[in-house]
């Protein structure tokens, strides 16, 4: 049976590193799995990602940012996520709507009811079966991300923005303990992976 699994967290906490680990675990237990990301995952979505992250759009309004995230998501669900789930595949996605609640709701302080309205409109009943939030202090994530590349338009926000993002993620985990869990991503990679494996085992996924 198909499942939709998403990975979340502030910048640099290890979503990409752990995505590959989860994929291996799923494949080892015989599941067919596709790996994708947001914003992105389709040709249109990747073009929207570029618009969203490039510095030349520094003055983008918060509402435009929100709507572009959901435009990319609508395309992604229609062309990639829902067809894969319909085929019985596992879909492993690097960020999804919880990122919108955290970044546009928490970080940009947009009215959360706008996000909920768009979530219902764009997704209908579709929600991730499991969201793993990789949680670490902002300084830890920024230090790791900073070693790897120069900051994009959103990454260049200040620490208080990312503190709000992190707190919004933690609130989501408290509100939806049935489908959202957190792991301590400040630990060494092997220990983060052990926590992820435990979560997947506890839910009968691997």
Contact between 145 and ligand T5A by CB under 6 A: the answer reads: yes
- For ligand T5A, the closer of residues 16 and 175 by Cβ is 16
Of 110, 126, 107, 93, the C-alpha closest to 169 is 107
Taking the CA atoms of 64, 67, 73 and 78 in sequence, report the sign of the dihedral they define. Answer: negative
We find the least distance from the C-beta atom of residue 114 to ligand T5A, in angstroms, to be 13
Contact between 148 and ligand T5A by CB under 6 A: the answer reads: yes
Q: How far apart are CA 182 and CA 169, in angstroms?
A: 9
Q: How far apart are CA 91 and CA 5, in angstroms?
A: 6
Distance between terminal CA atoms of the chain? 12
Q: What is the dihedral of CA 103, 169, 79, 81, to 10 degrees?
A: 170
- For ligand T5A, the closer of residues 68 and 200 by Cβ is 68
Candidates 3, 4, 5, 12; binder of ligand T5A (CB under 6 A) is 12
Please give the structure tokens belonging to residue 49: 């990602």
Candidates 6, 42, 100, 123; binder of ligand T5A (CB under 6 A) is 100
We find the least distance from the C-beta atom of residue 37 to ligand T5A, in angstroms, to be 6
Candidates 23, 34, 155, 171; binder of ligand T5A (CB under 6 A) is 155
Contact between 144 and ligand T5A by CB under 6 A: the answer reads: yes
Taking the CA atoms of 118, 196, 153 and 169 in sequence, report the sign of the dihedral they define. Answer: positive
Kindly list the residues in this chain that would bind ligand T5A in the complex (CB under 6 A): 9, 11-17, 38-39, 69, 94-95, 99-100, 103-104, 144-145, 147-148, 154-155, 185, 188-189, 192
């Amino acid at each position: 049976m198909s499942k939709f699994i998403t990975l979340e967290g502030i910048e640099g906490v290890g979503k990409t590193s752990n995505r590959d680990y989860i994929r291996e675990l799923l494949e080892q237990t015989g599941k067919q799995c596709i790996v994708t990301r947001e914003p992105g995952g389709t040709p249109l979505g990747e073009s929207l990602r570029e618009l969203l992250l490039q510095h030349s759009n520094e003055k983008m309004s918060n509402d435009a940012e929100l709507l572009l995230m959901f435009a990319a998501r609508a395309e992604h669900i229609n062309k990639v996520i829902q067809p894969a789930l319909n085929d019985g595949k596992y879909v492993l996605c690097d960020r999804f709507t919880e990122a919108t609640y955290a970044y546009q709701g928490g970080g940009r302080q947009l009215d959360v009811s706008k996000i909920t309205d768009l979530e219902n409109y764009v997704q209908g009943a579709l929600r991730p079966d499991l969201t793993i939030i990789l949680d670490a202090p902002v300084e830890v994530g920024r230090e790791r991300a900073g070693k790897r590349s120069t900051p994009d338009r959103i990454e260049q926000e200040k620490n208080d923005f990312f503190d709000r993002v992190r707190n919004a993620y933690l609130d989501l985990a408290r509100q939806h303990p049935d489908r959202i869990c957190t792991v301590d991503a400040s630990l060494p990679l092997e220990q983060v992976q052990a926590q992820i494996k435990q979560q997947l085992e506890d839910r009968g996924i691997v």
